[in-house]
Amino acid sequence: MQQTLVPEAGVGTKEPSRRPQVITAFAGFVIGASVIGMLWALSGVNAGALEDAQDACSALARVGTIPDTTGAAPGDRTVAVLAPEILHRMTAARELSAAAAAANDTYRPLAEHIDGVSRMVFSLHFNQISGQRHLAQAEQLCAQL
C-alpha cells in the first residue's frame, strides 16, 4: 500500500499576506472620498453664487424704472418718492449681489455696480451721472448671465 503524506495544518504552508491589498484598498478609498468631497464642495459654491447673481438681477429688474434726472434744469428740485417695496427690492438686489461676489469673485463687478445704483436710489439723487452709469453697467452684466 502506498501512503500519501498530507502536511498538517500550519506546518509548511504559508498563505500570501493580504496586507498590500488592504493598504491599497484603503488608500484608494481615501483618495476617492477626498476627490468627491472636493468636487461636491466646489460645485455647491459656484452654483449658489450664480443663483444669487441671477436673483440679484431679478430683484433689480423688479425695482422698475429708476428716474433719470441728469438732464433736468438746475433749479428743478422735483424729488421722486419711491414705494417701500421698491427700496426693499433694491436692498435685496444689493445683498444678493454681495453674497454672489463673496462666493465667487467673478460677480464682484456686478456687486459693485448694483451697490452704486443702491446708493443713488437710497439718497434719492437720480441726477447722479455715476449712479446712472452703474445702472446701465449692472443691466448689461445681468443680460450676460
Residue 18 lies in a domain: no
Domain holding 124, by residue range, is: 46-63+81-144
Handedness of CA 130, 133, 135, 137 (dihedral sign): negative
Q: How many domains in the chain?
A: 1
Residue 118 lies in a domain: yes
What pTM was estimated for this model as a whole? Answer: 0.64
- pLDDT 10s digit of each residue in the chain, 145 long? 566 655 565 555 567 788 888 888 888 887 878 888 777 766 655 668 899 999 999 999 999 888 777 766 555 555 566 788 888 999 999 999 999 999 999 999 999 999 999 999 888 887 788 988 999 999 999 999 8
Residue 35 lies in a domain: no
Residue 120 lies in a domain: yes
Q: Which three cell numbers mark 59?
A: 430683484
| DSSP letter assigned to residue 106 | G
Q: Which three cell numbers mark 96?
A: 444678493
Q: Which three cell numbers mark 26?
A: 484603503
Residue 53 lies in a domain: yes
Residue 23 lies in a domain: no
Residue 20 lies in a domain: no
Distance CA 17, CA 54 (A): 58
Residue 5 lies in a domain: no
